[in-house]
Amino acid sequence: MAAGPDLPRRRPGELRRVHHLAAGGYRRRAQRPLPTSPGDGPHRPRRRQPRLAVLPRRGARARGRPRRRRAVLLPVLARPAPWTLSNGDDLENLVTTADQLPDGASYPASPTGQADYFEALRGVFGDVPGGHGLGFVAWEPEWVPGVGWEPGAGNPNDNLAMFDFSGRALPSLRSLRR
């Protein structure tokens, strides 16, 4: 997320907006209009932005013509749901109790609960106006025990991965399809 403020400065064709869903961000985002040009979002560039296709022709605004705009695609960074509350290594996990679940009643800490969570997240993009929902990014779906910041060491996300403790794919992995 540290790169968020710099995203609008990237070249044309690169990603310009990232939205984090962890704390109900989609609901807040849905209440505001979708940004329609790189400078309309919450991250306004500090430096002069290069001229892009979304900028008006020189003098077009002065003659009273509306500015041509292009909608921005909206990706979402997803907070993962655990497939279990147990721990697969010696390092304490970030999510260890049912009250820490994003929505424990609808998506329990089980392989099917995790799969249902990611499928519901996929469904969010059908609700983005104009079909501008780009998709979601699952946070470290491969962090099984022994795979993390340091090879062979434990990690606090092993129960949030899309693989079980022995490396077998879980049903939630199917949510990453096109």
C-alpha 144/C-alpha 87 separation (Å) is 10
86 and 51 part of one domain: no
C-alpha 129/C-alpha 34 separation (Å) is 8
Q: What is the DSSP letter of 98?
A: G
Q: Which of 85, 138, 134 is nearest to 107 (CA)?
A: 85
58 and 103 part of one domain: no
Q: Tell me, what's the pLDDT at 82? A: 92
Q: Tell me, what's the pLDDT at 31? A: 59
169 and 87 part of one domain: yes
Q: Is 170 part of a structural domain of the chain?
A: yes
Q: Tell me, what's the pLDDT at 18? A: 56
| 28 close to 41: Cβ distance less than 8 angstroms | no
Q: Tell me, what's the pLDDT at 85? A: 94
pTM of the shown model: 0.60
Q: Is 4 part of a structural domain of the chain?
A: yes
19 and 36 part of one domain: yes
Q: Is 85 part of a structural domain of the chain?
A: yes
162 and 93 part of one domain: yes
92 and 59 part of one domain: no
Q: How many domains does the chain have?
A: 2
Q: Tell me, what's the pLDDT at 122? A: 85
Across the beta sheet with 133-138, what order do the strands follow? 19-20, 74-78, 133-138
Q: Is 135 part of a structural domain of the chain?
A: no
C-alpha 20/C-alpha 48 separation (Å) is 26
User: Which domain range does residue 103 map to?
Assistant: 81-121+141-176
66 and 92 part of one domain: no
- pLDDT tens sequence for the chain (178 residues): 444 444 444 444 555 555 555 545 555 555 555 454 455 445 444 444 333 333 344 444 445 555 555 666 667 777 788 999 999 988 899 899 998 887 888 899 999 999 999 998 888 877 777 777 777 888 788 888 888 778 888 888 899 999 999 999 999 999 888 7
Examine the fold and report which residue of 72, 91, 111 is the final residue of a domain before the chain moves on.
72
Q: In 3-state terms, what secondary structure has residue 25?
A: helix
